[in-house]
Chains A and B, each alone.
Chain A
Amino acid sequence: MYLKLDAKLKRLVIIDAERCVGCQLCMFACSRRLGFAGLDKSAINVKSIGGFERGFTVVVCRACIDPPCLRACPVDALRARDGGGVLLDLSKCIGCRFCERACDIGAVFWDDSMNKPVICVHCGYCVNYCNFKVLGIEEMNS
């Protein structure tokens, strides 16, 4: 019912991180989208800014038009996605973690069990589970 995968030309955005309560339902949703319960397939991280009282940092992919992660990949496992961000070809990825290091906001996540990156596809599934209007989905120009 909540599953929406028509992700093209859309971008996941943070509407207001100040409203985040740190419930992490978005993180669970992200792994669930791929058929898992838990957190290690998630392309979102919600962490406190040095204690719950200070609020939360919500890390999601910004869908860069000229993505540093793409340029860092030595084996062309990443290609540009229409409207920004990248798509990952798992079969090419060698798990070198260059993309992870290239992303200054820490939005390339790591799946330890597979030793491959987790890249946001901007599907917006997580938005359906944000009860606090922190996350949103935005239409993009090609």
Chain B
Amino acid sequence: MINQSNVLYIDLGRKSFYVKNRSDLFDKWLGGVGVALQLYKEEAVKSANPFDPGNTIVFAVGPLTNLYPLASKVVAVFKSPLTGNYGESHAGGRSATAIRSAGYGAIVIKGVSDRPIYLVISDKGVQFKDAATLWGMRSTFTVGRVLREALPGAGLRTIMRIGRAGEKLVRYACVITETYRHFGRMGLGAVFGSKKLKALIIHGKSSIYMPKIKIYRDTYDEVYKLAVKSGLMKKYHELGTSMNVLSINALGALPTRNLSEAKFEGAEQISGEDLAAKKLGRRVACSHCPIACIHLATIREPYPDEPYFYKTTFVSYDYELLYSLGSMLGISDTSGLLKLIDGVEVGGLDAISTGVVLAWATEAYKKGLIKLGDSLVDLDWGKADAYREAVKLIIDQPNEFYKALAMGVDYASKIYGGSEFALSFGGNEMPGYHTGPAAHIGYLIGSRHSHLDAAGYSIDQKIKNLSPQEIVDKLIEEESWRQILSSLVVCYFARGIYEPSIVKKALNALGYELDEERLKELGRRIYEDKQALKASEGFKPYELRFPERIFEVPTFHGSIDKNYMKAALEYYSQIFNEIIKKSSNLK
């Protein structure tokens, strides 16, 4: 079998590293999340606080990385400071190619540095570099530029970095890679910050000799043709994910003004169609992806003090950002929205969580739960400039209120009230789909409380009249299969291409003798292992709650029925308990 099983172990406290071949893990668990989960279990200190030295970050790529198109992602596993439990986040850019090309299948980072550092990683190992100059730098763009110019490997490297949000331990700070891609959700940026780790630069260009070159080339061509000719990726190729704005809005599923409504009158202005026509400046791709779904808008701003002098800024937009920082905050002015997105990028925050936190804060402010003395700015729907100020305040945390906001919406609403309209699912802020019961059940029972765990929004749009049990079964089945996709590691946008039959073919060409049934079983095992890990870290399904707000705003399935949702949760708890029982019997 062709796989890269070298694991790079880094200790930030001792500033030391070693490399070990872990073919035992890669043979059994493929790579990506399958392997990362096992490495996390081996290395992380059980029940460690997310900011303790015992918290461990694992990055992993998989057997398809560098070998097939669209295998462009890295999986990061860590303990989330936002939910206090299992954290997982995926990103593209050049990170996957760089890790594989430097000769590694996974990188494990533990310990805490005594002072700010960044790491330069290659096939020769790790350099521990002083980050005192970079620490506190206002903009993540500047950090990227400095490192780009100072270090080798142009075109063959990834530059992952955190912003001030990560340094200041905002619980939903992200890690930015190649300026426009993110390990966005669940606060990996804050874990970096707690470890005093400002950036990771990984470069390399190794290759693997392919013994069965003809089969490999033929399979490659099959995947490539599916990617560029079949229409499966058309949506991402053309307008990108922002194409969803109008369709989700037409369904009455676009959360607006903290989900007080699900239809946004400004949807047209913030739609993919409108942005492409008026603002789209460039499209770029992750390494080894022929689709180029990354859409960069331009903002052209005149300098007020100098005639004929302009600043042009590029801003990456996607559906989730247009929802969380657009409709959710009632912003339809595209220039204001793009500047707000830019502000979130500059500081290094997760866009979804930031938008949901600000939407809750606005409603709480309007309801008098918080005062101007707390919010310091007059939070009001549609006022992008005020939100831009608030983003800076979340990072700076000048008072108790912003300290609370920096902890996430769940925490803030427990202090200030307004839990019923705090859109948190298992401690993670809500993604942009109010499509019906499957979406919301999916957020709550998904391992990382993300819409990408099992895409409940897609079930809502395709099937009607499912029983609560049927929905839970479908979500778990989908999440289990996605464990394979994120072990390979392929981009979820390419899930229509990487159907079980193609995955089998792609792996067979590399010498794996896995059939579709065994792949599905392995997916289920990884899923179950994840639940067992969550349970051992204190996750209790019966403590899960749906935010009241989702019951108040009808979906195109009608109003969501509380008893229906309760039945789904009870059924899920039962399955969860069976998994835990089974896994403790295995031990």
**Residues in B66-100 with C-beta less than 8 Å from chain A:** 66-67, 69, 97, 100
B452 within 8 A of A: no
Which B residues lie within 8 Å of A41 (CB)? 207
* Interface residue from B97, B210, B284 paired with A36 (Cβ < 8 Å): B210
Interchain residue pairs with CB less than 8 A apart (30): A1-B221, A2-B221, A22-B287, A23-B288, A23-B289, A23-B290, A24-B288, A25-B69, A28-B288, A32-B210, A38-B100, A38-B207, A39-B66, A39-B101, A40-B207, A41-B207, A42-B205, A45-B155, A46-B155, A47-B154, A48-B155, A51-B141, A51-B145, A52-B180, A52-B296, A53-B179, A53-B281, A53-B284, A129-B290, A131-B290
A7-B341 Cα distance, complex, nearest whole Å: 48
CA distance A35 to B100 in the complex (A): 17
A16 to chain B, nearest CB (A): 13
Select which of A22, A31, A48 is within 8 A of B207 by beta carbon: A31
Complex contacts, B291 vs chain A, CB 8 Å: 23
B283 located at the interface, meaning its Cβ lies under 8 Å from any Cβ of chain A in the complex: yes
A37 interface residue (CB < 8 Å to B): yes
Given contacts A21-B283, A38-B208, A113-B206, contact A51 B228 (CB under 8 A): no
Which residue on chain A has the smallest CB distance to residue B72? A23
In the assembled complex, which residues on chain A have CB atoms less than 8 Å from the CB atom of B97? Answer: 24, 39
Asked if A129 contacts B224 (CB within 8 A), the reply is yes
B45 within 8 A of A: no
List the one stretch of B211-219, B385-393, B475-483 in contact with chain A: B211-219
Q: Is the CB of A32 within 8 A of B205?
A: no
- Complex Cα spacing A132 to B227, Å: 13
**Chain A residues positioned under 8 Å from B145 (CB to CB):** 50-51
Please state if A32 and B217 are interface contacts (CB–CB under 8 Å).
Answer: yes
Given contacts A2-B217, A25-B290, A51-B145, 13 further A-B contacts (CB under 8 A): A2-B221, A21-B284, A21-B285, A24-B287, A28-B288, A32-B217, A39-B97, A39-B205, A39-B206, A52-B179, A52-B284, A53-B179, A132-B292
Residues from chain A with Cβ under 8 Å of B289 in the complex: 23
B512 sits at the interface (CB 8 A): no
**Given A2-B221, A37-B216, A52-B180, A23-B285 contact (CB < 8 Å):** yes
Contact with A along B166-186 (1 / 0, CB 8 A): 000000000000111000000
Q: Find chain B residues with CB under 8 A from A31 CB.
A: 207
Complexed CA–CA distance, A24 and B70 (Å): 12
Please measure, in the bound complex, the distance between the C-alpha atom of A43 and the C-alpha atom of B67, giving whole angstroms.
Answer: 18
Q: Number of B interface residues at 8 Å Cβ cutoff, please give it.
A: 47
Q: Is the CB of A22 within 8 A of B285?
A: yes
B284 A39 Cβ-Cβ under 8 A: no
Asked if B148 contacts A51 (CB within 8 A), the reply is yes
Give B154 Cβ to nearest chain A Cβ, in Å.
4
Residues of chain A with a CB closer than 8 A to B67's CB: 37
Give the contacts of B19-75 with A (CB-CB under 8 A).
Answer: 66-67, 69
Contact of B292 among A21, A40, A51, A113 (CB under 8 A): A21
Say yes or no: B178 contacts A38, CB within 8 Å.
no
Q: Which residue of A lies closest to B156 (CB)?
A: A39
Whether a CB of chain A sits under 8 angstroms from the CB of B209 is yes
The residues of A with any CB-CB pair to B shorter than 8 Å are 1-3, 21-25, 28, 31-32, 35-42, 45-48, 50-53, 55, 112-113, 129, 131-132
Q: How close is A23's CB to chain B, nearest CB, in angstroms?
A: 4
Chain A CB count within 10 A is highest, among B145, B220, B284, B314, for B284
Task: List chain B residues, Cβ under 8 A from A40.
Answer: 101, 205-207
Residues of A within 8 A of B155 (CB): 24, 45-48
- A113 vs B208: C-alpha distance in the bound complex, in angstroms? 11
Name the A residues within 8 Å of B66 (CB-CB): 28, 37-39
Residue of B nearest to A1 (CB): B221
B508 smallest CB distance to A (angstroms): 15
Closest to B101 in A: A39
Q: State the majority secondary structure of interface residues on B.
A: mixed
> Is B201 positioned at the interface, with any CB of A under 8 Å from its CB?
no
Cβ contact within 8 Å between A53 and B282: yes
Contact A51 B208, CB 8 Å, known A23-B285, A37-B67, A38-B66: no
Residues of B within 8 A of A (CB): 2, 66-67, 69, 97, 100-101, 141, 144-145, 148-149, 154-156, 178-180, 205-210, 213, 216-218, 220-221, 224, 228, 281-292, 294, 296, 314
- Is B205's CB under 8 angstroms from A53's CB? no
Residue of B nearest to A47 (CB): B155
A47 to B159, CA, bound (A): 13
In the bound assembly, the distance between CA atoms of A84 and B508 in angstroms comes to 41
Contact assessment for B101 and A37 in the assembled complex, using a CB-CB cutoff below 8 Å: no
Asked whether, in the complex, the Cβ of A23 is within 8 Å of the Cβ of B287, the reply is yes
In the docked arrangement, what's the CA distance between A11 and B35, Å?
A: 44
How close is B565's CB to chain A, nearest CB, in angstroms?
42
- Choose one: A22, A37, A112; the contact of B210 (CB below 8 Å): A37
Query: In whole angstroms, what is the CA distance A21 to B148 when docked?
Result: 19
Q: How far is the CA of A38 from the CA of B68 in the complex (A)?
A: 10
With a CB–CB cut-off of 8 A, which chain A residues contact B218? Answer: 1
When chains A and B are docked, how far (Å) is the Cα of A112 from the Cα of B156? 14
Per CB-CB distance, the 4 closest pairs between chain A and chain B, nearest first, are: A38-B207, A47-B155, A53-B314, A23-B285
Q: Which residues of B contact A37 (CB under 8 A)?
A: 2, 66-67, 207-208, 210, 216
Instruction: Name which residue of chain A comes closest to B296, CB basis.
Output: A53
CA distance A35 to B156 in the complex (A): 20
Partner of B220 from the list A21, A24, A32, A38 (CB cut-off 8 Å) is A32
Find the A residue at minimum CB distance from B217: A32
**Partner pick for B209 among A24, A36, A46, CB 8 A cutoff:** A36
A42 vs B288: C-alpha distance when bound (angstroms): 14
Chain A residues, Cβ within 8 Å of B208: 36-38
A48 to B234, CA, bound (A): 25
Q: How far is it, in angstroms, between the C-alpha of A32 and the C-alpha of B216 when the chains are bound? A: 9
Give A3 to B288 CA distance when docked, in angstroms: 19
Q: In the bound complex, do residue B217 and residue A3 qualify as a contact, i.e. CB atoms below 8 Å apart?
A: yes
A132: chain B residues at CB < 8 Å are: 292
- Supposing A1-B221, A129-B224 touch, asked if A51 and B179 sit within 8 A by C-beta, the answer is yes
B466 to chain A, nearest CB (A): 38
Residue of A nearest to B220 (CB): A32
Q: Are the C-beta atoms of B206 and A38 separated by less than 8 Å?
A: yes
C-alpha spacing A1/B219, complex, angstroms: 11
Are B207 and A50 interface neighbours, CB within 8 A?
A: no
> Assuming the A-B contacts A40-B205, A129-B224, are A55 and B282 also in contact, with contact meaning beta carbons closer than 8 angstroms in the complex?
yes
Q: How far is the CA of A131 from the CA of B290 in the complex (A)?
A: 6
Distance in angstroms between the alpha carbons of A139 and B506 in the assembled complex: 35
Nearest residue in B to A2 (C-beta to C-beta)?
B221
